[in-house]
Amino acid sequence: MLRFGAVSYLNTKPLVETLDERLMNWGTLRLDLPSRLASDLANGELDVALIPSVEYFRNQADYEIVSNAAIACRGPVWSVRLLSRVPIPEIQTVALDEGSRTSAAMAQVLLSEMHSLRPKTVPFPIGSEAADLDADAVLMIGDRAMHPPHGTYQEIWDLGDRWCRWTELPFVFAMWVARREVTEDPKQLERINETLNASRDDGVQRFESIAIREAASQGLTNEDLHRYFAENLHFYMGPGERSGLALFRKKAEAIGLVPPLSVAPGPNA
């Protein structure tokens, strides 16, 4: 039985809509926080996992992307925003949402590339309020970004929009990867790929029913959530997404956010 893990976030719902039933008799699925999934995959407690792109970079020498199902965007993403109380070029401190290391790296790359900024970073703990933070700017993801707090902000960036405009490439937030020993059997790799892609295809066909089921708990209308799935997110890893992923890795490495690929830590690091 192969052990699969996926993040337990709203943007993952279309990728795992029918995965449990498709894994019946040959695999198990566990939903958890991104950091736990990344650690368990690295430690050999999971075989395949949907992990943030930054976590993939940190063990890239030992991992292989096993599906073209992914969480990406090709424009405004809505659920990842930088809210600044000062003009962007004046940012000296930024509070980073602890819910996503990839979005935190994305924000730092964009500030560095677009404005040559390397602001001091402080945590934005889950459960805390932006108003309580003494920082020039605040990175928000997920529900907090989709329902931003009232306050005086001079600039608000949708980071998906900023990345895609600046690079003219998509951005990949997370992808399915496996440890390389899991992919040594070509037949097993093909089965993993086909299963993950089929589950994604099922979910893409069920945006409306997923939105009806999940919207109320997220404080969204059915229409808003359907639009989020259909217009803000992209669930396919094509050549453009791979190019965007490679550029993100290069830029994150350049400012010390991920290790050089040649010395990336092994799975037990």
Residues 153, 196, single domain; the answer is: no
Number of domains the chain contains: 2
In contact, 142 and 159? CB cutoff 8 Å: no
Is the residue at 11 inside a domain?
Answer: yes
Picking from 254, 264, 237, 238, the residue whose alpha carbon sits closest to that of residue 57 is 264
Which pLDDT belongs to residue 59?
A: 92
Q: Is 151 helix (H, G, I), strand (E, B) or coil?
A: coil
Kind of pairing, strands 137-141 and 80-84? antiparallel
pLDDT digits (tens, 9 = 90+) for 216-231: 998 999 999 999 999 9
- 162 and 175 both lie in a single domain: no
d(CA 217, CA 75): 25
When pLDDT is averaged across residues 5-32 and rounded to a whole number, the result is: 95
- Confirm whether 119 is domain-assigned: yes
Domain check: are 215 and 162 in the same one? no
Report DSSP state, residue 12. Answer: G
Write the CA distances from 89 to 82, 96, 114, 250, 251, integer angstroms.
Answer: 13, 17, 9, 23, 19
Q: Tokens standing for 47?
A: 């075989």
Which of 127, 152, 167 is at the close of a domain? 167
The domain that holds 150 is classified in CATH as 3.40.190.10
Domain, as residue range, for 150: 80-167
List pLDDT tens digits, range 223-262.
999 999 999 999 999 999 999 999 999 999 999 999 998 6
What is the maximal distance between C-alpha atoms in the chain? 56
- Candidates 71, 67, 111, 18; CA nearest to 232 is 71
pTM: 0.93
Strands 155-158, 80-84: pairing kind: antiparallel
Q: Identify the pLDDT of residue 160.
A: 98
Domain final residue, candidates 167, 185, 212: 167
